[in-house]
Structure 1
Amino acid sequence: MSRRTDYFNDPDAPKANSIVPAVTAFVVNDTGEVLLERRSDNGRWGMPGGVQEVGENIAGTVVREVLEETGIHVEVVGLVGIFTDPGHVIAFADGEVRQEFSLCFRARPVGGEIKVSSESFAVRWVPRSELDDLDISPTTRRRLDEGFRDVPIPVIS
């Protein structure tokens, strides 16, 4: 199943050989549930997201990735933070090892219906009270915590 391995402040982690602009989307519905997917590349729960493609602006990346991965149409309404921790590296099966560079955007759902994609085993709206029961990476957990803080100034780390 795992096409990627995440390392968090691990002295035995491989050295990063790339940095790629990526996004995640903190999407909360009217009842306060957050949109999460159980990822097919590592089996963990996370926010929808992915890498920016040539020719699109970063808000367009958020909208496209959320729709592709979850079936939900969103509107970007803010920035949770910029996360660039050099202690988080991601090793891919093809030999690429990325240093984290992720912009986490706040978005609101505007339509669509939940669907599973090739990038996920499951997609669902998760109540905040159930987050501790899910297998979520430390960096995703931090983004969720920052998103729920709902402060006007984005985190930069």
Structure 2
Amino acid sequence: MPDSRHSVSVAGVVVDDRRRALLIQRRDNGHWEAPGGVLERDEDIISGLKREVLEETGLHVTPTALTGIYKNMARGIVALVFRCTVEGGTLTPSDESKDFRWASAEEVKHLATEAFAIRVLDALSDLPTVPIRRHDGVHLIP
């Protein structure tokens, strides 16, 4: 019988005063993405978000809005994405991130795969409702 469980991940789209998003370059695959990861079973969503962003960037952040809900249909991962502001810390590479880049919406489109770029683009926009999207790990699924 196939495993029907899902995991829940969180990502923080850290936005600066120029409306650019902080992207990390992952060590494992070189992809550019917003910082984030899987929630621990015993932690709440906001604590997990802050922990993941801190672990991957060295920054302390405050989430200001839920900006999207995304499901990787191939892997069964539900991701909650939040727009965040920096409260302190220093950008520091980690075991998971090897580089950082502040990117405009147009740059994000070229740096990240479609499934991960849309998360950042949704966070940078002022959509009237929170989008709920699905993807295959790379491309959006209509």
Q: Determine the C-alpha separation between the residues in 1 that align with 2:114 and 2:20.
A: 20
Which amino acid is the alignment partner of residue 81 of structure 1?
G
Tell me the TM-score normalized by structure 1: 0.76
Matched-pair identity in %: 36
Contact between 1:33 and 1:126, CA under 8 Å: does it hold in 2? yes
Q: CA deviation at 1:49?
A: 0.3
Who is 1:137 aligned against?
A: 113
Q: Determine the C-alpha separation between the residues in 1 that align with 2:39 and 2:17.
A: 28
Structure 2 matches for 1:56-71, cutoff 5 A? Answer: 56-71=43-58
Cα deviation digits, residues 90-123 of structure 1 (max 9, x gap): xxxxxxxx22311111111111111110101212
Gaps of 5+ in 2: 134-142
Who is 1:79 aligned against?
A: 66
Contact between 2:105 and 2:121, CA under 8 Å: does it hold in 1? no
Question: Helix, strand or coil for the counterpart of 2:23?
Answer: strand
Calculate the aligned-residue CA RMSD, in Å: 1.9
Contact between 1:48 and 1:69, CA under 8 Å: does it hold in 2? yes
Structure-2 change in CA distance of 1:150 and 1:78 (3 Å): same
Which amino acid is the alignment partner of residue 57 of structure 2?
T
Gaps of 5+ in 1: 1-14, 90-97
Contact between 2:108 and 2:120, CA under 8 Å: does it hold in 1? no
Structure-2 change in CA distance of 1:132 and 1:139 (3 Å): closer
Match of 1:118 among 72, 82, 95: 95
Who is 1:21 aligned against?
A: 8
Q: How many residues align?
A: 132
Larger radius of gyration: 1
Q: CA deviation at 1:18?
A: 4.8
